[in-house]
Chains A and B, each alone.
Chain A
Amino acid sequence: GAVVSQHPSWVICKSGTSVKIECRSLDFQATTMFWYRQFPKQSLMLMATSNEGSKATYEQGVEKDKFLINHASLTLSTLTVTSAHPEDSSFYICSAKNLAGNPYEQYFGPGTRLTVT
């Protein structure tokens, strides 16, 4: 149990276009999901906290107009990178907490590798 999926697993897009990444909790409900970014050979950085039915909370330095987050249901959060640029190329990983399970555990998705050309 407690499986989180992401789609797509990798995506290549041209500079200036937008790309949407989905994060789904497959077998549990998650009121809160988190979005992280990882540049090559670096650590994970928290971008934003996504709460079902409300606006996302962004970390300092993360542009909310560039990284649009929508948490429309208890099992789905989406991250849209708008007007992507090559510096947005990164590994994007989401995680989710299981309402009915261990409140301290975060379950990570497999990640989405974004390359902007």
Chain B
Amino acid sequence: ELKVEQNPLFLSMQEGKNYTIYCNYSTTSDRLYWYRQDPGKSLESLFVLLSNGAVKQEGRLMASLDTKARLSTLHITAAVHDLSATYFCAVEKVGGGADGLTFGKGTHLIIQP
């Protein structure tokens, strides 16, 4: 059974600070996704990581993937209030067909002025 663990589950930080969210998963996969969810809304795709060593950046967010360690990170640089949201990582089973995603529990991020 594929398991995805995120930490921390809750993070309160000040604007301007840097922080990292970690995502560990239990079985072989090279498809790792990061999503953002605002309260009452659906998911917004942030990053799709498809290979070992993949690194993607968008604004103040940067995601990386280490398939050997089964670890992905989402790094926040110089946080701003608008980044307050819940962030999910998700892993797709590598089964050859179309597979649904297994999500981590999410990291509830609050960025205070």
Which residues from chain A sit less than 8 Å from chain B, CB to CB?
Answer: 31-32, 34, 36, 42-46, 49, 51, 59, 93, 95, 97, 102, 104-111
Which residues from chain B sit less than 8 Å from chain A, CB to CB?
Answer: 31, 33, 35, 41-43, 45, 48, 50, 88, 90, 92, 98-106
Question: By the criterion CB–CB under 8 Å, are B100 and A108 in contact?
Answer: no
Question: By the criterion CB–CB under 8 Å, are B43 and A31 in contact?
Answer: no
Chain B neighbourhood of A108, CB < 8 A: 35, 42-43, 45
CA distance A102 to B47 in the complex (A): 13
CA distance A109 to B98 in the complex (A): 18
Q: How many Cβ-Cβ contacts under 8 Å join chain A to chain B? A: 50
With A104-B48, A104-B50, A111-B41 already in contact, the answer to whether A43 and B98 are too (CB < 8 A) is: no
Question: By the criterion CB–CB under 8 Å, are B98 and A44 in contact?
Answer: no
Question: By the criterion CB–CB under 8 Å, are A105 and B48 in contact?
Answer: yes
A68 to chain B minimum Cβ distance, whole angstroms, is 18
Taking CB as reference atom, which chain A residue is nearest B30?
Answer: A104
Chain B neighbourhood of A109, CB < 8 A: 42
Chain A neighbourhood of B99, CB < 8 A: 49
Question: By the criterion CB–CB under 8 Å, are A31 and B103 in contact?
Answer: no
A44 to chain B minimum Cβ distance, whole angstroms, is 5
Chain A neighbourhood of B102, CB < 8 A: 46
